[in-house]
Chain A
Amino acid sequence: MKDSHLVKYILGIADNALILGQRLGELCGHGPTLETDIALTNMSLDLLGQTRNYYQYVAKISGDDSTEDDIAFLRTERQYLNVLLVEQPNQHFGYVIARQFYFDVFHYLLLEKLQASTDENLAAIAKKSIKEVSYHQRFSSDWIKRLGDGTSESHNKIQTAINDLWAYTDELFEVTEDDSHIVNIGIGVDVSELKAEYYSKVSEVLKESTLEIPDNKYFKKGGKIGIHSEHMGYILADLQYMQRTYPKMKW
């Protein structure tokens, strides 16, 4: 696979969907109600579907014979370019919802702009995905409100998750060197421009949910350049298990 700027730009978007889809997939069968279980699985399915669209496109422009599965399963940890937020564990339902909410608000804003990409493949994937993500955003925002303004226990739990994951939000707006090349030629979205609207949307939902907006100014980053949290290795151990154990087989 060629490591062109465009490939890396797309991986930066697609790897988020893969890793979050994988995280949500861990929950299948373990949700607090049957309805939420089904809904979270649905979002996992949407995200993995989007992942496949991006990876198939990357495979096509790579100019070698790599496939979507090579891209998904056969890279080293340093080659995955997802943000740290999506790899954070499912500690409890509050963390699942907070992580989803922080990601969905960003994801929606990103896709809104990506629809106007001069790369028609990316624009088409964005158009298809935004319909799904609009539902994700509604689902996670509604749950932030229910948990925030539900019982005192749920309020405390979701506030803790919101506070803990806040440190991972700033990385969403980081523009890497590869990204800038792609932004400059009109294909990519300058995510730094989404920041103000993002925080205003997030704050609006948190306020409506009677939650406090975290005031932590120390943020964590690294995922976008392949320096991940310690969770990532274990995610990949599961994800890559079959492909690594049985190389070059068809499934």
Chain B
Amino acid sequence: MSEAEIKNLEEIFESRIARDEKIEPKDWMPEKYRKTHIRQMSQHAHSEIIGMLPEGNWITRAPSLRRKVALLAKVQDEGGHGLYLYSACETLGISRDELFEQLHSGKAKYSSIFNYPTVTWADMGAIGWLVDGAAIINQVPLCNTSYGPYARAMVRVCKEESFHQRQGFEIMLKLCQGSPEQKEMAQDALNRWWWPSLMMLGPTDDKSVHTEQSMKWKLKRKTNDELRQQFIDQTVPQAEVLGITVPDPDLKWNEEKGQYDFGEIDWDEFWQVVKGHGPCNKERMTARVSAWEEGEWVRDAAMAYADKKDKKNVAKAS
């Protein structure tokens, strides 16, 4: 294809996005669009899969049967989200095995929040309330993103996430209405998850490398700082309902701006965790890699069995 032809295709492509048309897997797309989508969608899928681990940590110890079943169902939903997101990603011409390889080798990233440990039952509440709450803020705009398979997967993901968020809040509420020990457990979880949840919305706008292009492709509709502000403004009143304190002495309602002012985020901590030195980065990766390696013989068996069956069917037919 000549340069002029490519330029023409690019123009058509950009104008389709500007008209809010969906881009589908077989449509022409610039290589950078494909790559950016593979990166973001797989990062999202990996986050779902890694995210199963910190919550999975409490399945066997959930405090009641009802909570156990709800937690199992929630973690299972995350596996399901991983599944549709990997499938959506595969429509861009990359296999699930390749995506796993990128995760296991450390080439692909996942949400850093899952590198924090879940040390008490209240963490199940805090993760649902705060982490899923921040995720929804990030994800709702993606239901209208330009790439069709991603947008459609996100519609379902967001419905389930919003249910998880309410479930998390309800766990917190129950703790806050319970004994002093339970309330203390809830406060402690808020103390530990608050700042990492703010970091989840990404580096500040002046440090964010992908924002401009992503806004153009509607992979992003608001900047990281705008999303973070939205999250804080929506979450602080919820903490007030719970009767627990957000661990930020600088947090204050700003009448003039109609939003909360908040304290400085410890970005050194953020980069430390992103670069692989958080409290559980190694544990998460080891768990994923060993599940994959220990499962190899099972996957090989399934393939070998399917092959044998195919051959038998061919033999029968001929």
Tell me whether B297 and A154 are in contact (CB under 8 A). yes
B131, CB-defined interface residue at 8 Å: no
Q: Shortest distance in angstroms between A248's beta carbon and chain B's nearest beta carbon?
A: 9
Which residues of the other chain, B, contact A154 by a CB distance below 8 angstroms? 297-298, 300-301, 304
Tell me whether B69 and A38 are in contact (CB under 8 A). no
Q: Pick the contact of B68: A31, A48, A250 (CB < 8 A).
A: A48
Which residues of the other chain, B, contact A51 by a CB distance below 8 angstroms? 65
Docked Cα-Cα span, A149 to B312, in Å, equals 13
Q: Count how many chain A residues have C-beta atoms less than 8 Å from C-beta atoms of the other chain.
A: 47
Binds B, one of A2-10, A108-116, A177-185, A234-242: A234-242
Docked Cα-Cα span, A38 to B48, in Å, equals 13
Binds A, one of B13-21, B49-57, B156-164: B49-57
For B107-118 the 0/1 string (1 means CB < 8 A from A) is 000000000000
Binds A, one of B2-10, B144-152, B173-181, B203-211: B173-181
Which residues of the other chain, B, contact A145 by a CB distance below 8 angstroms? 305
Docked Cα-Cα span, A242 to B76, in Å, equals 22
In B82-96, the 8 Å CB interface with A consists of 82-83, 86
Tell me whether B179 and A249 are in contact (CB under 8 A). yes
Which residues of the other chain, A, contact B252 by a CB distance below 8 angstroms? none
Binds B, one of A39-47, A81-89, A118-126, A168-176: A39-47
B308, CB-defined interface residue at 8 Å: yes
For B68-105 the 0/1 string (1 means CB < 8 A from A) is 11001101100110110010000000000000000000
Docked Cα-Cα span, A44 to B240, in Å, equals 37
Which residues of the other chain, B, contact A243 by a CB distance below 8 angstroms? 63-64
Q: Count how many chain B residues have C-beta atoms less than 8 Å from C-beta atoms of the other chain.
A: 49
B254, CB-defined interface residue at 8 Å: no
Q: Pick the contact of A48: B65, B171, B296, B303 (CB < 8 A).
A: B65
Which residues of the other chain, A, contact B63 by a CB distance below 8 angstroms? 242-243, 246, 249, 251
Q: Pick the contact of A153: B175, B297, B302, B308 (CB < 8 A).
A: B297
Docked Cα-Cα span, A41 to B175, in Å, equals 26
Docked Cα-Cα span, A28 to B290, in Å, equals 14
Docked Cα-Cα span, A149 to B308, in Å, equals 9
Which residues of the other chain, A, contact B53 by a CB distance below 8 angstroms? 29
Docked Cα-Cα span, A126 to B195, in Å, equals 48
> 16 additional contacts, CB 8 Å, given A31-B291, A154-B297?
A25-B68, A32-B295, A32-B296, A34-B79, A34-B83, A38-B80, A45-B69, A48-B69, A52-B65, A149-B305, A153-B301, A154-B300, A241-B61, A242-B121, A246-B181, A251-B64
Can you offer 13 A-B residue contacts whose CB atoms are under 8 A? A22-B60, A26-B60, A32-B291, A37-B79, A38-B83, A145-B305, A150-B304, A154-B304, A157-B297, A242-B121, A243-B64, A246-B179, A246-B182
Which residues of B pack against A, CB within 8 Å?
Answer: 49, 52-53, 56, 59-69, 72-73, 75-76, 79-80, 82-83, 86, 121, 171, 174-175, 178-179, 181-182, 287, 290-292, 294-305, 308
